[in-house]
Structure 1
Amino acid sequence: MHADLEKLLSLGRITPALAEKLDCISPGHYCFHSTWGAGKVISWNLPAKKLVIDFEENPEHEIALEFAPRILEFIGDDHFLAKRYEDPEFLISLAADDPVELVRLTLKGYGNSLTPEKLEAALKGTVIAEDKWKNWWDKVRAMLRTNVQFMMPTRKGERITLRTNMLSRAQAALEDYGKAADLKAKVRVLDSVKMENVVSEPEAVNTLIQAVNADVCNGGSLALQQVLELAILRDDLIAAVKNTEAAETSCSLRSLVENGIEDVERFAEILNSMPAVRQKCVYAVLPEIFGDSWTEKTLELFDASGARAVGEIAKFLIEQGQEKTFIKHLKHSLLRQTLPAESLIWICRQRNDAAKPLFGIPVGIAMLSLIEQDHMDGGPNRMLRLKNLFMEDKNMIQEMIRKQDVAEVRQFAKMLYNTSAFSEQDRGALMARVISVFPDLHSIVLDAMVDTSDKPEPVFVSWESLEARKKELEELVNVKIPENLHNKKISRAEGDLRENGGYQDAKEVEKVLNRRRAELEHALSLARGTDFTVTDTSRAAMGTKVTLQPLGGGNPVVYTILGAWDTNPEKHIVSYLSQVGKELTGKKVGDQVKIVPMDGDKKKVFTITAIEAAF
């Protein structure tokens, strides 16, 4: 105990409990402040209740004794921060000569556990220069992953942990697996296990296999993705240690796939979230399960799958010698225009390889149809990947139309130009690609762009949406355009228009405002307001509410057909001009329709069970 405290204690001026507390902050002890860094108490004045602390970033700073416990963390002599205060040069040399030991020393000071962000805060800028941190940490992190003494995080938010007991690699994997909070975390633990490092420890690996197998058998259908991944990783462990007894499990990968694939759409979603290497393991058991009909079941999965699974399923079918069957299936779906967006994207990506027999104008028309349908439905832009593919793949359109019949190209060009799903600028860029391949079609394309034989048909809208657009036009004409013109004049007066950013911005805004004004004026000239009053509900029409029952079972869905500007996906309100609206219009109770639901991206068959007035 500090001599000053012993004197006060002997005089009876402080209690033994208080003396013990004060001794922790006596001169010579270390502390940490979140702003000023590590520090050392160099002196105190107990009667005045003052401490003088020498911080890394604030030398010889005086602090009131009563505030010290609130703002300071007092640390031991062996703490990393104390070592950083006393001998930073030693730590700097350690960072270069033995970086793993530096990390071990740092973790030990923080209770053997730190997030990577906290570790960075402790070392960056003090022990390791800020501009060298990234390269240093990338190298050290790789070293730590191969060192069994460290438990490394597998996702953001997890900690780097220093093991307090000496374990082999297999024993460490077993310990980490047992500590994992859920099945996802257990998958990540097994992901980090390198088979070549654990095969020499069959006893520990067999114990790990038993633990994994128990989770596979008890995982349940709600966590099917993790159960499948654990089963695959379990089988890898079994193969590594050649454990024939463990291979004879009732929870085989085959049985899991056989039970899970009954709901094809859900199973496809699960596969789409799995790494490619594990998807292959699932596909490999399909021939065992379905025998001669495995190809048909795999094609069902393909049609229901997302971006990641589509490519892997296609690759598997081709590797299994089913390329002709696969291409035939795609051609048939293309003719019926039932190919989902991800399949069309795969065709475009593989147009010079596996999908070469399929690539052509029909693919482009199918893509445009989905984009236009999504745009008309007013949905959450589900076809953005298709739109981006059109714009970003600079050679796709040229390759699509090259060596094609002029009449088909003309039809495609007209469809491309007339779509409202692309901006005017983007349509112009896409049309330029068409004309670059068929220069002689310039006049034909122009004819397709302008058709003056008939006057445009009126569009019907609700009175509310009509008034909203009128107000928007009024604000443009009376407020926004005059304001921008005023800003343009002020900027112009500043001189040198080429270097005048304000003037250039005002010019760009002027173009946008005038273009929007023209769009609104044209739209309002065609618009006809209505209250959607209907008296005949024998058939679906504008102003009706249509109840649909999915053919394969499930909850019914109700669509309300209203005007061109009244789409509301959340309330299942569709425009009579949308693809869904067109499919429903004219149908009666008992009829079947094949549409893409507003909450999906693939066509489904529904039966109309009721039609009633919307209002």
Structure 2
Amino acid sequence: MHPDVAKLVEAGRIPKPVGERLSQLAPGNFCLHKSFGAGKVTDWDLPAKKVTIDFEKSAGQTMELQFAFQKTEWIPADDFRAKKIEQREELRTLSKSDPINLLVHLLQSHGGSMTGDALEKELSGAVIPEADFKKWWDNAKKALRDSRLAVVPQKRTEAIVLRSGDRSPAQALVADFEAARDIKGMIRALEAIAADIGAFENDTDALKRLLSDIDEGAKKAARVQLGQALQLVSARDEVIGSSKALELDPSAVRLSDLLVNADASRLADEAGALPSSRQRAVYEAFPNAYGDEWVGKIVHVFDKVGARGVTEIARILLERDSLPALVTHLRSAIARRALGPDALIWVCRERKGPSQEVFSADVGAAVLNLLENDHLSDGPRKTSRLQSLLGDDKSLLTDLVSIMDVNEARNFGRRLLDCPVFGELEKKSLMARIIKARPETAELVNGSNQKRPEETLLVSWESLEKKKAELDDIVRNKIPQNREDVKIAKSYGDLRENFEYKSAKDMEKYLAHRRTALDKEINNARGTDFKGSDASKVNIGTIVTLEDASGGTVDMTVLGAWDSIPETKTVSYLSVVGKALVGRAPGDEVSIRDEETEQMQTLKVRSIRPFNP
């Protein structure tokens, strides 16, 4: 206790606890302020109840003693933040000569842990020149990780944790696993063990003790977090595979055990989110999980597991001479226009290899169909990579139209020109490639240098009001909310590894795109109630009765551009089915795709009547 303060305590003027806290604010001591940072007390005036502190960010700051009591925290003279005030040059020298010692000292001063962002804030500029910090930190981080003195995560927003005690490297790695609070922490700890398996050369008993914990964790996670359970078991297998002294117990949980009990759609979603190496391990477990049915099971999830999964599954099927099953699946899915964007990208990229048998004119139709449907649907776009592939792969369209006959090539070119996904310049660029390969399609772009007027869309009043309501919601609610989401996510720091920020920015792009599209569509739309439509032929606003070869009949209603309702057999006049029907008269035959079987069928127009007489 400071002598001047001790006199006040002895005289009974202040309680002893207050005296001890007051002594911490005596000249020469160090303290911490939330806004001003670390500081050194330079003077005080007890009668006037004033204290003067030289803060890192505000020198000569005079405060009321009561305010300093509440807003500052005492730190010892050997605290890293205190040394930044009086021994900064020594710290700068240490950062060059012994960066690990510097980092350990910094972590100790922060209670043993701090995030990468907080560490950069503490060092960059003050101790290490801002321009040099990234390079310095990359080297220092690797050295700190190799020293095993601290747990160094991959993400800057996660805490770097100083290991305590005099443990061996192996003991420290095991302790990290045992200290993990969740499955993700266990996975990270196992990855660290696998990367440093040499530390266990003379201490495999510690690893053996972990195996039962992993089994228990995987069983629990499988019920609600299948993806994490798959990751955990895969990471365990990597550890076992890298150690000659470890063997998997016959009763241990295996990837095949998790697959057998998993729902197919859930499995596809969870597996598709895994890293490539882990996905491969999961797909390689299919034969053990499903026996003779494994090929059918893996083909079933092929186009649902994302880009990485598609590549891995195709590679496994190729290696095991089971590619014909995939070819059969792809041929059927392409014909039904049921193949997803990642699978279609794979088909296009591997067109001179494994997918050569299925690369046909139907692939072009499937690509455009998927782009159009995605453009008209709500939510973030799913086909951006597919659209980019058409532009980036200079020979894709050439190869595609080269295998088409003249009519197929013309129809494909015509549909591309009508596709709302592409801008005018992009359409011209893509058509130039088509025309170069198939000169017969040049007639499609005659006069295309003159901008074609937008065709007015005929829509129902109900669908028009729905579009207006969606636009109003975007402008009034979603865009303002997204601005706040971006601000909040940005505050989390480290934009390079900030998933929330990237997600918010993606939504920002989507909302801007959707707003522009809705503005354009609404301005170009004309509402109608379809009253008095001409029923001598199939027109917009008519109900047509179609008859199949067996005599069965079905009614289909052709309405406005935004009025497709599959459940009630209502189609838009702009849809493939709508375009096939419009203009047909009783007695005409029309080929359309069955919505349930996805097979082409020929139907006869039996009768036509107005939707709203």
TM-score by length of 2: 0.74
Which residue pairs with 1:477 in the alignment? none
Asked if 1:576 is matched to 2:578, the reply is no
The 5 Å alignment of 1:216-365 reads 216-242=218-244, 246-260=248-262, 263-365=263-365
Query: Distance in 1 between the 2:518 and 2:56 partners?
Result: 60
1: CA distance between counterparts of 2:126 and 2:542?
70
Change (3 A) 1:565 1:335: closer
Contact kept, 8 Å, 1:417 with 1:449, in 2: the verdict is no
CA distance in 2, matches of 1:280, 1:90: 51
Structure 1 residues 542-565: Cα deviation after superposition (integer angstroms, max 9, x where no partner) = 89xxxxxxxxxxxxxxxx997424
In the aligned structure 2, how far is the partner of 1:210 from the partner of 1:70? Answer: 50
Partner of 1:106: 106
Give the letter for the 1:208 counterpart. Answer: L
Further displaced range: 96-105 or 273-282: 273-282
Partner letter of residue 406 of structure 2?
V
Alpha-carbon spacing, 1:542–1:71, altered in 2? closer, same or farther (3 Å): farther
Q: Does 1:186 align with 2:186?
A: yes
**Contact 1:149 / 1:167 at 8 angstroms: preserved in 2?**
no
**Cα distance, 1:123 vs structure 2:** 0.9
Residue 55 (structure 1) aligned with residue 93 (structure 2):
no
Maintained 8 Å contact 2:151/2:160: yes
Is 1:462 paired with 2:465? no
Distance 2:128 2:456 in 1: 71
Partners in 1 of 2:34 and 2:379 — Cα distance? 49
Mark the CA change 1:346 to 1:245 in structure 2 (over 3 Å): closer, same or farther: closer
| Preserved contact between residue 230 and residue 255 of structure 2 (Cα < 8 Å) | yes
Cα distance in 2 for residues equivalent to 1:309 and 1:516 = 35
CA distance in 2: counterparts of 1:53 and 1:449, whole angstroms: 73
Partner of 1:204: 206
Alpha-carbon contact 2:272-2:304 (below 8 Å) kept: no
| Preserved contact between residue 299 and residue 326 of structure 2 (Cα < 8 Å) | yes
How far does residue 326 in structure 1 lie from its aligned partner after superposition? 3.1
| Alpha carbons 2:28, 2:41 under 8 Å: kept | yes
Query: By how many angstroms is 1:438 displaced?
Result: 3.3
CA 1:373–1:13 in structure 2 vs 1: closer, same or farther (change >3 Å)?
A: closer
Deviation (angstroms), 1:159: 1.0
Cα distance in 1 for partners of 2:130, 2:287 equals 56
Offset from partner CA, 1:211-265 (integer Å, 9 cap, x none)? 11221233332221121222222233334445676421252222222222xx322
In structure 1, the gaps of 5 or more residues are: 451-455, 473-514, 534-540, 544-559, 587-591, 597-612
Could you say what secondary structure the match of 1:39 adopts? strand
Aligned partner (choices 540, 548, 561) of residue 564 of structure 1? 561
Which residue number in structure 2 is paired with residue 407 of structure 1?
A: 407
Task: Give the structure 2 partner of residue 485 of structure 1.
Answer: none
Which residue of 2 is the match for residue 93 of structure 1? 93
| C-alpha displacement of 1:432 | 2.5
- Matched with 1:368 is 368
Deviation at 1:204, TM superposition (A): 0.7
Question: Taking structure 1 as reference, are residues 418 and 97 closer, same or farther at Cα in structure 2, changes over 3 Å only?
Answer: same
Q: What's the CA shift for 1:124? A: 1.0
Q: How far does residue 448 in structure 1 lie from its aligned partner after superposition?
A: 12
1:190 is paired with a residue whose SS is helix
| Alpha-carbon distance change, 257 to 578 in structure 1, aligned in 2, over 3 angstroms | farther
C-alpha RMSD of matched pairs (Å): 4.1
| Partners of 2:597 and 2:120 in 1: CA distance | 53
- Please give the alpha-carbon distance, in whole angstroms, between the structure 1 residues aligned to 2:153 and 2:332: 48
Code of the aligned partner of 1:178: E
Q: Hey, what does 1:4 align to over in structure 2?
A: 4
Distance 2:88 2:355 in 1: 62
Change (3 A) 1:447 1:295: farther
1:321-363 C-alpha deviation (Å, 9 max, x unpaired)? 2334433442343344332222111112223443344434331
Partner deviation per Cα, 1:458-478 (whole Å, 9 max, x = no partner): 845226728999xx9xxxxxx
Q: Does 1:152 align with 2:148?
A: no
Separation in structure 1 between the aligned mates of residue 245 and residue 439 of structure 2, nearest angstrom:
68
For residues 253 and 219 of structure 2, the distance between their equivalents in structure 1, rounded to whole angstroms, comes to 6
Would the aligned equivalents of 1:401 and 1:409 in 2 still touch at CA under 8 Å?
yes
Partner SS, residue 54 of structure 2: strand
What do residues 555-612 of structure 1 show as CA deviations (whole Å, max 9, x unaligned)? xxxxx9974246799x9998634759869x99xxxxx84399xxxxxxxxxxxxxxxx
The aligned counterpart of 2:484 is none
1:461 partner letter: S
Farther-moved stretch of structure 1 (572-581 vs 328-337): 572-581
Counterpart contact for 1:286–1:294, Cα < 8 Å: yes
Give CA deviations for 1:56-77 in whole Å, capped at 9, x if unaligned.
3433332221211233222111
Q: For this pair of structures, how many residues does the alignment match?
A: 517
Instruction: Give a deviation string over 1:491-547, Cα, whole Å, max 9, x none.
Output: xxxxxxxxxxxxxxxxxxxxxxxx9999878754xx6434899xxxxxxx989xxxx
| Matching residue of 1:70 | 70
- 1:131 positional shift: 0.7
Q: Structure 1 residues 304, 403: CA separation in 2 closer, same or farther (over 3 Å shift)?
A: closer
Task: Return the offset for 1:87.
Answer: 0.9
1:379-427 deviations in whole A, cap 9, x for unaligned? 6544333333334444422332246533332121112112234334432
Q: What is aligned with 2:546?
A: none
Write the distance in 1 (CA, Å) between the matches of 2:569 and 2:299: 33
Q: Structure 1 residues 458, 118: closer, same or farther in 2, change over 3 A?
A: closer
Q: CA deviation at 1:102?
A: 0.5
Label 1:35 to 1:387 Cα distance change in 2 as closer, same or farther (>3 A).
same
Change (3 A) 1:32 1:522: closer
Task: Pick closer, same or farther for the CA change 1:244–1:84 going to 2, 3 Å.
Answer: closer
Q: Which residue of 2 aligns with 1:554?
A: none
- Secondary structure of the equivalent of 2:295? helix
Secondary structure of the residue aligned to 2:32 is strand
Cα 1:531–1:381 change in 2 (3 A) is: farther
Structure 2: distance between partners of 1:576 and 1:595: 20
Compare 126-135 and 219-228 and name the one that shifted more.
Answer: 219-228
The DSSP-based 3-state class of the residue aligned with 1:167 is coil
**Distance across 1 between alignment mates of 2:59 and 2:97:** 30
**Structure 1 residue identity aligned to 2:561:** A
Q: How far apart are 1:162 and its partner, in Å?
A: 1.0
**Alpha-carbon shift at residue 24 of structure 1 (Å):** 1.0
1:45 deviates by: 0.9
For 1:57 and 1:27, how far apart are their aligned partners in 2?
A: 18
Secondary structure at the counterpart of residue 53 of structure 1? strand
The CA distance in 1 between the partners of 2:569 and 2:190, in whole Å, is 48
| Closer/same/farther in 2, CA of residues 94 and 325 from structure 1, 3 Å limit | same
TM-score (normalised: structure 1): 0.74
Q: Return the alpha-carbon distance in structure 1 between the equivalents of residues 207 and 430 of structure 2.
A: 58
Distance 2:519 2:8 in 1: 86
CA distance in 1, matches of 2:27, 2:318: 76
Measured in 2, the distance between the counterparts of 1:268 and 1:342 equals: 13
